[in-house]
């Protein structure tokens, strides 16, 4: 009889049973003079001792705004040192950090702030084409005339304070650099007092992930969830004292916050930010100048680096390790990264926000073919099974839905027990919605998705969310959105729209309707106006037929992926 598709990870080393604040304290004691964080674009270079002091000061500053353990603090900014200070300051003070996608627009930021009751928002003033402060003041016009920390907004009733990252002042906002100056001795004393009361199972982070019902869900994660995942991810890639990890992936995502920042803290490596947002030249330059030993990225980032016209001129000999994840990893790209970027130990990781995130990862000593064609084997202290539609475990080699159980599984979706129950069963199994195959040695291949999630350049998009938004257009009668292959991003969105009788429109009108309201990566790249959709007998739209038709029409090619 064939072996069943159920595996359990190693049980040693033991799980970490302390909080993130304690993890930072240990780093400060262990490596006080070593570099903790280098932000190249900000000309910042902090030792662990200095980083620890700054975190304490920001934590006390947040408490001075009237916050208490359990309150939610939103962070809306690109990659910068301030983002990371808040990450660890909230953990120290028992506050729950809410990660906000830098690409969010007006309707999305409003929904996020209201959904989890954000009490204080730490925000950049702007990034690229996004005027963050302007958007917040559109939602809360009371800010400019309010006393800092005492905001009373009709539209955002939970929001009490706004903190601005940057050098310029703004009426009603607290300047980030002034947070430490607002503190009293009592605020600093409270940090130590709160630390004594915190539990490793406390919620510490909310990360929004798109949902099939059209609205994002707030995956709520604990100290124990993400601290241990960071530890085992870093261990698998050989991260340690003296390593220098270049982090071009966004910090708001688990990839940046957990697999990079937190992994560096528990293993004593240096966090290095090349730029606010991903820029291939900035990454290559940072790797060379900072002698980085590790580099993270989604496949599109590595492709952009490899194809940069100046690539051959950079010295990447310091590189050794790193992770490619976030979307299906093309085998040939992995080979090029190993051969041309000197990343002999680069690996692939697989998971989801709801599992903190990694559940499978390749090992440094895995055969090359395994590292480029699978997502590796299950992480320590986790169980994984592959089941059929009836919930029965399938034999090895057969596809089915991946389910994960163990320390990494989220607490649940914030204030949403119904949607939590849809994915998290009574036995603690997280149903991923991904279709995987386990081989006889326990290596996993991801072969598809049960639902129609689209992964565009590392960003997870559920078409239903975009469909719900497009339904707001007064001319749209019906719409369906699918993912189609894209050589640059892996996938991109295509919308088929049926207009109301007598109406006319062009793609530009639909695109303009989306701009400023939903994130740029959610705006369909291809738009077609149709009279009907391919339907099943029961009236369901056959999205796979639409995808097939668009592949034929546009002459697209499905890339073979790991």
Tell me the per-residue pLDDT of 287-307, one tens digit each, with 9 for 90 and over.
999 999 999 998 888 988 998
pLDDT above 60 for 213: no
* Dihedral class, residue 203 (left if φ above 0, else alpha if ψ from -120 to 50, else beta): beta
Instruction: State the sign of the Cα–Cα–Cα–Cα dihedral 246, 257, 374, 365.
Output: positive
pLDDT above 60 for 539: no
pLDDT of residue 297: 94
In this predicted structure, which of 74-78, 137-141, 204-208, 486-490 has the lowest mean pLDDT?
486-490
pLDDT above 60 for 220: yes
Buried b / exposed e over 478-513, threshold 16 CB at 10 Å, is bbbbbbbbbeebbbbbbbbbbbeeeeebeeeebeeb
- How confident is the model over 258-284, as a mean pLDDT? 97
| CATH number 3.40.50.980 is the correct assignment for the domain at 20-32+42-199 | yes
DSSP designation for 395: B
Q: 165 has which bridge partners?
A: 124
- How confident is the model over 125-149, as a mean pLDDT? 95
Helix, strand and coil content of the chain, in percent to the nearest 5, comes to 35, 25, 40
pLDDT of residue 328: 67
Average pLDDT across the chain, whole number: 93
Q: Taking a C-beta distance cutoff of 8 angstroms, is the pair 93, 119 a contact?
A: no
pLDDT above 80 for 559: no
Helix (H, G, I), strand (E, B) or coil at 17: coil
- How confident is the model over 405-432, as a mean pLDDT? 97
pLDDT of residue 461: 82
- How confident is the model over 467-475, as a mean pLDDT? 88
Q: Taking a C-beta distance cutoff of 8 angstroms, is the pair 233, 356 a contact?
A: no
- How confident is the model over 503-524, as a mean pLDDT? 96
In this predicted structure, which of 31-40, 254-263, 467-476 has the lowest mean pLDDT?
467-476
| Integer Cα distance of 492 and 39 in angstroms | 31
Q: Which residue has the tokens 């085998």?
A: 331
Strand order across the 382-387 sheet? 6-8, 382-387, 400-406, 430-438, 444-449
Topology of the domain covering 461-554: GMP Synthetase; Chain A, domain 3 (3.30.300)
| Integer Cα distance of 94 and 326 in angstroms | 29
Looking at the chain, the whole-number percentage of residues with pLDDT higher than 70 is: 96
- How confident is the model over 133-161, as a mean pLDDT? 96
Instruction: Give the residue extent of every domain in the chain.
Output: 20-32+42-199, 461-554
């Amino acid at each position: 009889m064939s072996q069943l598709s159920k595996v359990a990870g190693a049980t040693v080393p033991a799980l970490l049973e302390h909080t993130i604040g304690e993890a930072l304290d240990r780093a400060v004691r262990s490596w006080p003079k070593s570099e903790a964080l280098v932000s190249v674009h900000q000309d910042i270079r902090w030792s662990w001792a200095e980083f620890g002091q700054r975190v304490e000061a920001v934590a006390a500053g947040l408490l001075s705004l009237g916050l208490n353990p359990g309150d939610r603090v939103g962070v809306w900014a690109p990659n910068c040192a301030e983002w990371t200070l808040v990450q660890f300051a909230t953990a120290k003070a028992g506050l729950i950090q809410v990660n906000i996608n830098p690409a969010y627009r007006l309707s999305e930021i409003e929904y996020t702030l209201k959904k989890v009751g954000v009490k204080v928002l730490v925000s950049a003033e702007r990034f690229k084409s996004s005027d963050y402060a302007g958007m917040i003041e559109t939602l809360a016009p009371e800010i400019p005339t309010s006393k800092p920390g005492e905001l009373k907004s009709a539209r955002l009733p939970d929001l009490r304070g706004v903190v601005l990252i940057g050098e310029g002042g703004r009426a009603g906002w607290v300047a980030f650099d002034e947070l430490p100056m607002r503190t009293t001795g009592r605020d600093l004393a409270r940090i130590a007092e709160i630390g004594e009361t915190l539990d490793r199972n406390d919620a510490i982070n909310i990360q929004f992930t798109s949902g099939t019902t059209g609205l994002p869900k707030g995956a709520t994660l604990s100290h124990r969830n993400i601290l241990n995942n960071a530890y085992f991810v870093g261990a698998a890639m050989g991260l340690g004292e003296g390593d220098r990890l270049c982090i071009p992936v966004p910090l708001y995502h688990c990839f940046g916050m957990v697999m990079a920042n937190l992994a560096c803290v528990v293993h004593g490596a240096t966090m290095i930010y090349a730029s606010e947002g991903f820029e291939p030249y900035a990454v290559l330059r940072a790797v060379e100048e900072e002698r980085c030993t590790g580099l993270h990225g989604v496949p599109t980032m590595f492709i952009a680096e490899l194809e940069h016209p100046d690539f051959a001129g950079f010295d990447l000999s310091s590189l050794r390790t790193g992770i490619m994840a976030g979307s299906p990893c093309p085998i040939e790209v992995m080979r090029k990264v190993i051969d041309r970027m000197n990343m002999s130990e680069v690996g692939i990781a697989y998971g989801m926000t709801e599992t903190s995130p990694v559940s499978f990862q390749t090992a440094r000593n895995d055969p090359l073919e395994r590292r480029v064609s699978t997502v590796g084997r299950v992480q320590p202290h986790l169980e994984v099974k592959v089941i059929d539609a009836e919930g029965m475990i399938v034999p090895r080699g057969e596809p089915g839905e991946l389910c994960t159980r163990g320390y990494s599984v989220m607490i649940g979706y914030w204030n949403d027990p119904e949607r939590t129950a849809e994915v998290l069963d009574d036995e603690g199994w997280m149903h991923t919605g991904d279709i995987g195959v386990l081989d006889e040695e326990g290596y996993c291949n991801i072969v598809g998705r049960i639902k129609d999630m689209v992964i565009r350049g590392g960003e997870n998009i559920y078409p239903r969310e975009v469909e719900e938004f497009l339904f707001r257009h007064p001319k749209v009668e019906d719409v369906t959105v699918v993912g189609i292959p894209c050589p640059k991003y892996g996938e991109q969105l295509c919308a088929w729209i049926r207009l109301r009788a007598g109406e006319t429109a062009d793609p530009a009108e639909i695109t303009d309707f989306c701009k400023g309201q939903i994130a740029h990566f959610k705006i369909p790249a291809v738009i077609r106006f149709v009279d009907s959709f391919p339907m099943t007998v029961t009236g369901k739209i056959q999205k796979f037929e639409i995808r097939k038709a668009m592949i034929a029409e546009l002459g697209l090619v499905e890339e073979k992926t790991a």
